[in-house]
Structure formats: structure tokens, C-alpha cells
Structure 1
Amino acid sequence: MLRKLGTNRSGNFGMMAALMSLPLFGAAALAVDYVNAAGHKASIQNAVDAAVLAAAVSKKTTEAELREIAVSALLGNVTDDVRSDLDVTAFTLNADGQVTMQVNGKLPSTFARIFNLDILNVGVTAQAQRSGGRSIEIAMVLDNTYSMVGQKLADLKSAANALIKTFEDESDLDVKIALVPFSRYVNVGLQYRNESWLQVDPDSSTTKNVCSTYRPVTGKSGCYRETTSGMNDGVPTTGSREVCTSYTYGPEQTVCRDRTTTIKWKGCVGSRDAPQDVSDSRPDRRIPGLMNQSCSAPLLTLTDNFTTIRSAINSMVAQNETYIPAGIMWGWRVLSPQVPFSEGKQYSKDVRKFMIVMTDGSNTLSPTYPLHNGRDGTYADQLMIKACANAKAESIEIFTVGVGVPNASTRQGLATCASKPDNAIAITDSTKLSAAFQDIANQILAVRLTM
């Protein structure tokens, strides 16, 4: 009988199952507790996030004051059973305006007690950036083309001045703003004529005695005014001219007179050959200055002199046609730490760089290198997108504002240029520019979580 009992294998599966159930039950028990802990941690994380944001948006300045605000917000965002087990282990405000908070919480275990784990600890950290922390650099790239004549330009000036007033009122903010008016070309300013990054021919004037032979009109009849029409920067224009059915001419005459030809640089610059036309690299490839070309008011490099910025804004004049990539490239250049300008800080986490591109029109021009005399708007839209992509690769955040832009390709290009969908603003008329610019200012100044 004993021999049979020793060799009997029946019931082995039940014994093994009983033995295996112990670790399986333990693992399941621990899993339940750790799932609860994960949910508990997420709840605490949300409360700590809200706490540092509350401290960051406040107007208080000392670490002690901000800690008091954060702790109050933290305790107000958790339940009674959680509140008693929270411990603020660290709270700091650094020189860059970053508010950091570390919190530990305790969760009583249920099944984990089997393994002598009566308490499960959870720790969370959150950090928010105050608006007055890192340095801010903003390039306003603004359409000064003919289609902006009149009320549009007045609305743009008002919106731009209101935007800089918003930043001027932030007394603890390190902010510099640049202005880049653009049309067919950009005006860099006559003071840069002899810089190494610019290629400008000397001004010149030549006088020659030129003779011409003509027959003067001595009479005409059947005259009337004829209406003429044309396009300027995509805007229909009208005029008139005199047309006569018959003319009477006098005897042939020869007239000689001195004719002076002047070649002068007015500050306008064109594009380098591709692909340098959409790049901020290779400063040895000089930028061409264009002779006898008209362009917008001179650009203004980064400055914190708000009186100077207002003066530059108010000096803008609408003229000529549209080539948006020129504005974008010079908006990038005024933010860049390398030549042609030196006002921009080095690219780093300590400085935030923004470009605001505003236009009311489609690209009516394209480059013919160095001039912008082409009419391939699709090519210009492609260059616009490339220039934006290259600038964004340097961590420049781009906002675009389109005011009734008629061409679908350019509208899509502006949306692509923007760093994120919320940064692309499309409005129907210029009266909404102030609201659009204020929204951009609010986004730039918005307190945000950084950890």
C-alpha cells in the first residue's frame, strides 16, 4: 500500500497549480496596486502642472511668493484623501524665469502589503516658463506693395504699433523687434553700401549731347479721351489718354541737347543665385545691390528702442509689386547672429526668435537673378516655402497673416510657412489686423509648460 502511494502520480497537476497560483496571485495583486498608483500619479501630475502655471502667470516676483501661489493651486486641485499625503520637496525660480516644482505623494497599498509594501511612493515634477524669462527677438515682415495703398496700410500701421505696445508694457521682458517692409525688393539702407556682404556698383552720372529729328504737331482734330486699364500688383488700375482721328505736322526739325544719365543705388537688393537665394549660409556669396530700382522704406534691425520702431512703421509707403520670399529672407537675416547683421543673439534655448509675415497679395513676381522681373507665381510660392523651412530649421517660429490673399497656391504656401496650424492666420479684410496681431502677441507671451 505504501509502495502504491509512493508511485501514484494522480493529482500532480492540482498540486502544481496550487503552488504556481501563489506567485501569479502576487503579481496580479502588485499589478492592481501599481495601476492604481499610475492613475494616482497622473492626478498629482495634473495638479502640479496647474500649480506651476498659476505661479508663472502671476505678477509676483519672489520665489517665496510664487511658492505660496503654487502650493495653494496644488492643494485646490486634489481631493481630500490625496491632499494629506502630498509633500512639496522642491520649488525654484531660476534666472531665466523658469518655475519648477517637485512633489511626492503616497498611496496606501492594498494587495502589496502581502510583500510588506504598505506604502507606494509617487514623485512628479513640472516646470513652466514665465513670459519674462528668456530673451525674445521678433522680426515683423510686412507687405508694402501697391495693393496696400490707402486704408490697408493705415490698418497695418495701427496693428503693428499696437503689437509693439504690448511688448513695451512688459517691463520685465527682454525683447527686441526688427521691421522688414517688402515689395518687389527689400531696402537694406544706404549705410551698408560698403559692407563686405554686399555688392554695389558705384553711383555714376554721364552727360552726352544728343540730337533728334522730328516733325512737330501743328494741328489735330476729332480728339477725345480714351479710358485705359492695367494691373498693378494684381490690382486693376484705370487711366485715360487723348486720341485724335487726324494730325497735321510741320516741317522736319533737328534739336540737340545735353542728356544726363544717372545710375544710383537707392538701397534695394536682389537675390543671390539659387540655392543661396533661400539660404542664410555662405556670406562670401555677396548679395547684389540693384541700381536705379525703387523699393520700400529701409528695414530696421533688432532694437529695443520702441520710439525708433514706431518711426520706422509710420514711414512705410505702399508701392510696387509682390515678391514675398524677399521679405522672408531678410526677416531671417535680421534674426540671424551672423552677417549681414550682428544684433541677433546666437541660436540657443536661452532666446526665442519669431517672424511675423503679413501680406495681402499673391506672389506676382519671381526671381530672374538678381532681379525679380519674372511672372512665375508658382515658382515664387515654392521659394517662399523653402525659405520658411530653412528659417524654421534654425528654431525660428513663424506666424503668417494673410489678408484676403486671392491665389490658392500662395494661401497654401503661407499656411505651410507657419510653424504650426494655429500660427497661420487668414482674415478677410485689414480691419481685423489688430486682432490678429494681438493674438500673435498673446501666443508669444503665453506661459507654457516646459517639463
Structure 2
Amino acid sequence: MLSQVNRLRAFTRDIRGMTAVWFGLSLFPVALLVLGGIDFARASSEKALLQNALDTAVLMAARAGQLTDDELGAVGGAALQAQLIASGSVSSTFTSAFSNGENDSVTGVVNAKVGTIGLGLMNVDYLKIEVSTEVQRGLDETIELALVLDTTGSMSGARLTSLKTAATNLVNTLTADAKANVKIAVVPFAQYVNTGVARRNEPWMDVPADWTQNVKGSCWTQTSKTTCQTKYFACVKYNDGVPYNSTCSQNFNCVTVPLKPPITHCSKDSTVKHTYYGCTGSPAYPKNVSDDDPKRRYPGYLNMTCGSVITPLTTNMTTVKQAITALSASGETYIPSGLAWGFNVISSPIPLTEAAPYGKDGVNSNPRKVIVLMTDGQNTQRMNHGNGMHNVNAVNNPTEPNNYTKELCTNIKAKNIEVYTVAFEVTDKTIKKILEDCASSKTHFFDASDSAQLTKAFAEISFSLRSLFIAR
């Protein structure tokens, strides 16, 4: 009887042992399923990251302008890489392709591999992922655009002609689509901005009344006369800080002899009119670099001329193109004046009222507010803090107007206004760097070395201003 009990116990141990073996074996496929599920979950999460990153990259590539497929690949690829790094992507390898599609679209495709854990035990080393995005360009959003254009003396001749052509082409491109909802302002600037005689009595202007001065005639006696020989020679002169070859003269061998008898000269009574022609200076710092104070006032000056009157935001493109055609070149450079009025024409409601309020979404997407700043050189004037004039020579010391330009750029972008900057044949490295930093991104800055590059820059800007939406 005892031996039978022992055999039963041994048999029971054998059964338990086999059960443990079978249980252990059954855990292996369960573990594979669990680990495989983790792999698929990681792949699904990674696909979502890739899709979001690709959406952003294609939008950035599409907004960069009229690019070839290779150029799209460079812009989109860099943006994709940055997005994936920021998102914590786990893709071990990936390839991307960006291309121009039909109907003015841009397409991006990403193929990636995600390393496995559980599936690796079954010789599946990675899972493949593919995502794609198509961005369609259109013009169905509202755009408020301020063209802040340098019309200083250095822009005379071929430069101004090229600017007029480039700016007119931009207007034509933006308004070619019947669905376009675009307002454009033109802000010519040099040493001053001309806000117009009609605005002299606005509450934000300080302009003295025109007046007439009666000048009494007088007589004087000339008792001697001086005669000289003159020699002429090649020399370098400056127009708005830009050197050019010219001819200079110098007197020599001058001889003064008495007049016998002396000659008496007399002037008649006359009147001198002191008149306002629209030239506007700057309020005191920091009101000259901001749009936050609705009570700020701008000084206006008598007996001063300063180029074409600004054209506030309008949907009348005939008016806009006429304003561009009427541009003329004269005066020195004070970029803060032009940039401040570019800021003013698309901010609401003071001093001008044509602009819509800033977007409630915090990004100014409706309307999309944009400034295009074009200049051909450095600041050559700085502000006279006694009267707000821009008449202090700054050729050798442009630090203050440069700093005002930087602050304006910072304050404008803080309002979520897009800024495009165009350096036209600019040789000064300091102002070129300021313009580059002022732009909303690297693709918003253009270094135009000649007229052809200027035309291309404005074409790229008009191309970039068309609204984008993800079609799929």
C-alpha cells in the first residue's frame, strides 16, 4: 500500500512539472503579443508625430516662395528635421521628398522606420511608416499690406525705376485672383514721411498755421570786386551717403580791386510765405517706436518738401499703382520714420483708421497683417530731440537711428505682424544685419544685389502672401 502511495506522489510531481513547462511555454507567445502591441503603439504614436511635423514643414516650404523641387526639399527638409527633434521623434531613419504639384500646390512625403522591441524576437527589426501632406495655395484670406519704400536720393535713376516695376508687379500678382481680399498701403520715406497737407488738423498732428512774412526792401553798397581763375578736377561726392564720381572746382589767383565809383544795389519790398507741405517728424522716444499710445502727436514743419504723400490702406488698386508710379527720389535716409508709419497704417485705430483691429486669435490671421520694408542703404540722419526733426548728420554715427529701427522691428513683430525686408544693393554690413534680424524669418529677408534680384524678391513676397491650407 505504501509503495502505491509513493508512486502516486511521484506521478503528481511529474504532472506539476509538465504543467509548469507548458505554462512557461504559453507565456512566450503572450509576451510576444504584449511586446508586439507596444511596438505597434509606438509606431502609431510616431506616425502622428511625423504627420504633424510634415504638415508644418510643407506649410513652411510652400510659404518660402516660388522654388524648384530641390529648393523645396532643402527648406522643407530642414524644417522637418527641426520639428522632429523638437517633438522627440524615435524614427531611426527617414527620407523625405518635397515637390510642386498641380494647381499651385506643394506636396511632401516622409518614409520612416521605427525600431522594434518584441517584434525583433521574430526577426522584425523595424516597422515602416509613410505619411504625406498636400498644401494648396489660395487667396481667400484678408491681407493688409504696407509697402514701406525707400525713395531717398540714392534711389534716383535706374534703382527707382526697378522699384516701381517690382512693386507694381507685386500688386498685380496679389490682385490677379478675383477672390483676392487685399488692402495695400504705400509709405514712401526718405528723411521724412509726407502724411499730407489734408491731415494737418488731425488730433495727432502738431502743425503751426501757414503765415506770410512782409520783408522790407533794403539797399547796400558794393565797394570792391573780386575776380578769380577756376580749375576743374575729378572728385567724389555723396548722395544720401552713397559716393559717386563727379566734377569739382577750385578758384585760384583771385584779385580784388576797388570799384570807382562804388555801386549801390537795392531790393524791393516782398512777401515770404511759410507753408506746410505735409512733412512729418517724430514724437519723443519711446513714442516714436511704438503704436501703444493713442495720444502721441507728430510734429509738422513749414517750408519743407519731402516726396509723395502716403497712401493709406485701400482696396482700390488703381490708387495704389498710381502712388507707386508717382514715387520720386530725393533726400537723406531715416528708416525709423518709414517703418513707424508702416506700423501706423496697419495698426488700429490711431493715427489712421483704415486698418482692421488686431486679430482676436493672437496671430493676426484674419486679417493677415504684413509690412514689406525696402531700403538701399544705411541711416544717414538721426533725430533732433529738440524739435523731432531728422536733420542731424548720422553718416559716421548711425547708432541711435539703427537702435530705433531695431526697436520698431521688435515692437511690430510683438503684435504678430509679418515683416519682409529687402536690402537693395546694400553694402553696409550693419544695416544689412539689422534688416535680416528685422524679418520674421530667414525666408522673409531678401538680399537683392541688383535690379533683377529686386524684381525676384518682390515676386517671391507676392507668392508667399497667398494663403495656405492643407488639402490632405
Same fold by TM-score greater than 0.5 = yes
2:372 corresponds to which residue?
356
Instruction: Establish whether residue 158 from structure 1 lines up as the match of residue 165 from structure 2.
Output: yes
1:390 corresponds to which residue?
411
Per the normalisation by structure 1, the TM-score is: 0.73
Instruction: Establish whether residue 184 from structure 1 lines up as the match of residue 202 from structure 2.
Output: no
Q: Is the 8 A contact 1:278 1:383 kept in 2?
A: yes
1:201 corresponds to which residue?
208
Report the more deviating stretch, 344-353 or 272-281.
Answer: 344-353
Q: Is the 8 A contact 1:180 1:327 kept in 2?
A: yes
Q: Is the 8 A contact 1:400 1:415 kept in 2?
A: yes
Cα distance between partner residues in 2 of 1:47 and 1:409: 36
Report the more deviating stretch, 197-206 or 33-42.
Answer: 33-42
Q: Is the 8 A contact 2:186 2:311 kept in 1?
A: yes
Q: Is the 8 A contact 2:141 2:467 kept in 1?
A: no
Task: Rate the CA distance shift 1:303–1:213 in 2: closer, same or farther, 3 A.
Answer: same
Per the normalisation by structure 2, the TM-score is: 0.70
Cα distance between partner residues in 1 of 2:58 and 2:383: 53
Task: Rate the CA distance shift 1:422–1:219 in 2: closer, same or farther, 3 A.
Answer: closer
Q: What is the CA deviation profile of residues 24-70 of structure 1, one whole-angstrom value per residue up to 9, with x for unaligned ones?
A: 666423212312433555677799999999xxxxxxxxxxxxxxxxx
**Letter in structure 1 aligned against 2:200:** R
Q: What is the CA deviation profile of residues 75-132 of structure 1, one whole-angstrom value per residue up to 9, with x for unaligned ones?
A: xxxxxxxxxxxxxxxxxxxxxxxxxxxxxxxxxxxx99xxxxxxxxxxx998967522
2:104 corresponds to which residue?
none
**Letter in structure 2 aligned against 1:224:** T
Cα distance between partner residues in 1 of 2:150 and 2:59: 40
**Letter in structure 2 aligned against 1:306:** M
Q: What is the CA deviation profile of residues 228-275 of structure 1, one whole-angstrom value per residue up to 9, with x for unaligned ones?
A: 754220123535457252132422646354353432211010111000
Distance apart, 1:347 and its partner CA: 1.2
Cα distance between partner residues in 2 of 1:218 and 1:33: 103
Task: Rate the CA distance shift 1:382–1:34 in 2: closer, same or farther, 3 A.
Answer: same
Instruction: Establish whether residue 301 from structure 1 lines up as the match of residue 312 from structure 2.
Output: yes
What does residue range 97-112 of structure 1 map to in structure 2 within 5 Å? Answer: none
Task: Rate the CA distance shift 1:217–1:305 in 2: closer, same or farther, 3 A.
Answer: farther
Superposition RMSD in Å: 3.7
Determine helix, strand or coil for the equivalent of 2:216.
Answer: strand
Report the more deviating stretch, 435-444 or 256-265.
Answer: 256-265
Task: Rate the CA distance shift 1:280–1:51 in 2: closer, same or farther, 3 A.
Answer: closer
2:357 corresponds to which residue?
346
Report the more deviating stretch, 376-385 or 433-442.
Answer: 376-385
Q: Is the 8 A contact 1:49 1:126 kept in 2?
A: no
State, as a whole percentage, how many aligned pairs show the same letter. 31
The number of aligned residues is 374
Cα distance between partner residues in 1 of 2:45 and 2:160: 56
Instruction: Establish whether residue 275 from structure 1 lines up as the match of residue 275 from structure 2.
Output: no
Q: Given the alignment, which residue of 251, 267, 282 partners 1:243?
A: 251
Q: What is the CA deviation profile of residues 172-208 of structure 1, one whole-angstrom value per residue up to 9, with x for unaligned ones?
A: 0100111000000000111111111111110111112
Q: Is the 8 A contact 1:233 1:321 kept in 2?
A: yes
What does residue range 297-446 of structure 1 map to in structure 2 within 5 Å? Answer: 297-348=308-359, 349-369=365-385, 370-374=388-392, 375=394, 376-445=397-466
Determine helix, strand or coil for the equivalent of 1:347.
Answer: coil
Q: Is the 8 A contact 1:334 1:343 kept in 2?
A: yes
Cα distance between partner residues in 1 of 2:417 and 2:57: 28
